[in-house]
Amino acid sequence: MGGWLGGLLAGAVHEVGGGEAVTGFAVRLMALAGEAPIVWIGDRLDLYPPGLMQSAIDPARLILAEAKDEIDRLAALEIALRGGMHGVVVARAVSRLAARKLALAARCGGGLGLVLRAGAASDSAAFAARWRIEAARSGPGRQGGTRWRAELIYARGRNPGVFLIEAGGHESSSALVLVSEFQRSGDGRRQFGDGPGGRVAGGGAVAA
């Protein structure tokens, strides 16, 4: 799975920064991952597992864990990834050493890791990709899905870019649809293109 997802790889950890829109975007990304259990770690969790079914996540796959100390949260994610699970952690700051340890754990276990941050994006190259997410106006009509403005700040082997992404309209679908793309080419020139049919179907491991 490649293209606009910017090389969102299983067996790696990705940083997703932004405001309240980050959680919904992360849920959709996890719905695209494989069938392994998903560990979601935060200092205060308000996820509603039955509601996750609208994003095609089986609540039985979800393990919720709370830890006030950020070091404990990162350690829990490392254990989950090393054990072959997918994992999400809410963190305010991640040191370069911690990012490298998470990356190694994901590489060993083969799962998808997401680090959700409310602050500024880090500069660690240990993350396979770094995203900045904002809510966008919903699509036209009553069937318009939730939309996000997704800025790809960094990804190995890809140019940075800005993407308008929409959740699949059907409540049982985990698909994400590329609505439009704005990115810079390797020589710095701006490029823009629409993405009808740029659909990413869920149900498989996330890969490039």
206 lies in a domain?
Answer: no
Which range marks the domain in which residue 102 is found? Answer: 3-44+55-200
127 lies in a domain?
Answer: yes
49 lies in a domain?
Answer: no
Among 59, 99, 56, CA closest to 77: 99
pLDDT score for 58: 81
Report the number of distinct structural domains present in the chain.
1
Q: How far apart are CA 103 and CA 128, in angstroms?
A: 8
pLDDT score for 39: 95
157 neighbors 137 (Cβ within 8 angstroms): no
CATH number of the domain bearing residue 172: 3.40.50.300
What SS3 state is found at 130? strand
What beta strand segments (E) does 34-119 contain?
38-42, 62-66, 86-90, 112-117
Provide block-wise average pLDDT over 10 residues at a time, the chain (208 residues): 53 90 88 88 78 73 92 96 96 90 95 85 81 83 75 84 78 64 48 38 36
User: Which residues face 113 on adjacent strands?
Assistant: 13, 87
208 lies in a domain?
Answer: no
What SS3 state is found at 41? strand
Q: How far apart are CA 66 and CA 108, in angstroms?
A: 24
Report pTM.
0.80
Packed helices 96-109 and 70-82: angle between N→C axes, nearest 10 degrees: 20
Q: How far apart are CA 121 and CA 119, in angstroms?
A: 6
pLDDT score for 35: 84
